[in-house]
Amino acid sequence: MINFLRGVPSDESLEEIKPLVAEGYKNAILKYGTDVLQYGHFGGFKPLREALGNIHDVDPDRIVAGNGGLEVISLFFKSLPHNSTIVMEEATYDRVAFDAVRYGHQIVGVEMTSEGVNLSDLERLIKTHSPKLFYGIPFHQNPTGITYSEENRKAVAELCGKHEVICAWDICYQTLRYDGRENTPVTVSDSGPVLMGSFTKTITPGTKCGYIVLPKEMVGPVTTVIANTRINPNLPTQAFISDFIEAGEYDAFLNFLHDLYRPKMDALNRAMDLYFSETDPVRITGGFFALVRLSQITEDKEDRFIKAVKDAGVSISSARAVFAPNILKKNRGKGLFVRLIFPALEPEQIERGVATLKEVEQSVCG
């Protein structure tokens, strides 16, 4: 079965890092002893926060390290005033949207272009809804694969600043670029933007470590929420990651991932160009995701199509859950959107899987 639903790192990456993790945890326990075995500071392990401060050129006191990227995002949402409006990309990480709603917030989707956010639509939504927060994934976006241009990213931040909207960038895929180039990092000042990062896709999901970089005035309110939610994060993990970064092993492992995932990414781009060029697919340069629109698969054909694809050996699902409610309404009648997740697959599986989608689409639609 070719499974386009597995949003996980490849088995090869886990086998490669397994001895490094085993040795890293051992060394961290021996080096730091009871400091990582006892209760610790709810804001995270200080050496890790210092390492992250060096990476982002900020005071480590502005960084909170937690148990995964989703946790720190969730706790940040929890710190916002109840019933805040949050602007998100028209399609986004569905778990983040679920958490925003769970904490009593309203979400509204902003239209996207190949360069990032539709700036006119963002300004319209800000003026119409007076949002508290904009949340975006600027690098290899989940699920579209879009990487914002630097100009678009800066324009979004300027619009947010002009209208006193918090700008929050989820940068969990920033370092996962496979085309031989590097993404220009987000510059952070005392007033923002908020940055949210994670080591889930770059080290392992099981280690569960993420962090958030906050403006100075937001540190107190957010850390109060965190302190009232949990006592401390997984300190042995954070000690291991801190040493992993400081020793240069993290950068070396990222280079391994770039080499591992590039042929898979190239296979997906080739297949999308070959079979779905008419949908103007994003040519991805990294990350884990791409989004394809099957314009001929209307709602009455969705279940039959997904079953037929599965019978042909490919697992997919509708990407309906990734869209904001206002965008979901606009998408009715535009076909079925499917998220394709590629790192856990081999290049030949990816090409065969995309070909199968086209073959079954043509079969179902006659």
Query: Which residue, 250, 280, 306, sits at the end of a domain?
Result: 250
Distance CA 156, CA 145 (A): 18
> 281 and 223, same structural domain?
no
Q: Which of 223, 250, 277 is the last residue of a domain?
A: 250
Name the domain count of the chain: 2
Per the domain annotation, does 334 fall within a domain? yes
pLDDT score at 281: 67
Place of tokens 């958030």: 212
In a domain, 22, yes or no: no
The answer to whether residue 20 is domain-embedded is no
| pLDDT at residue 89, as a whole number | 98
CB 145: neighbour CB atoms within 10 A?
A: 26
74 found inside a domain: yes
Give the chain's residues under pLDDT 50. Answer: none
Give the CATH number, domain containing residue 95: 3.40.640.10
Residue 295 burial class via C-beta count within 10 angstroms: exposed 0-12, middle 13-18, buried 19 and up: middle
Measured in whole angstroms, the distance separating CA 312 from the mean position of its chain's CA atoms is 30
pLDDT of residue 30: 97
Buried b or exposed e, range 213-246, using 16+ CB within 10 angstroms: bbbeebbeebbebbeeeeebbbbbbbbbbbbbbe
pLDDT at 278 (0 to 100)? 81
Write down the pTM of the prediction.
0.96
CATH code assigned at 296: 3.90.1150.10
Domain span holding position 128: 30-250
165 and 313 fall within a common domain: no
Among 221, 250, 279, give the residue marking a domain's end.
250
Determine, yes or no, domain membership for 236.
yes
Q: Are residues 170 and 215 in the same domain?
A: yes
Which secondary structure element, helix H or strand E, spans residue 134, and what is its range? strand 133-136
C-alpha R_g of the chain: 21
In angstroms, the CA 187 to CA 172 distance is: 15
E strand residue ranges, 228-326: 289-294, 314-315
Q: What tens digit of pLDDT does each residue of 190-226 get?
A: 989 999 999 999 999 999 999 999 999 999 999 999 9
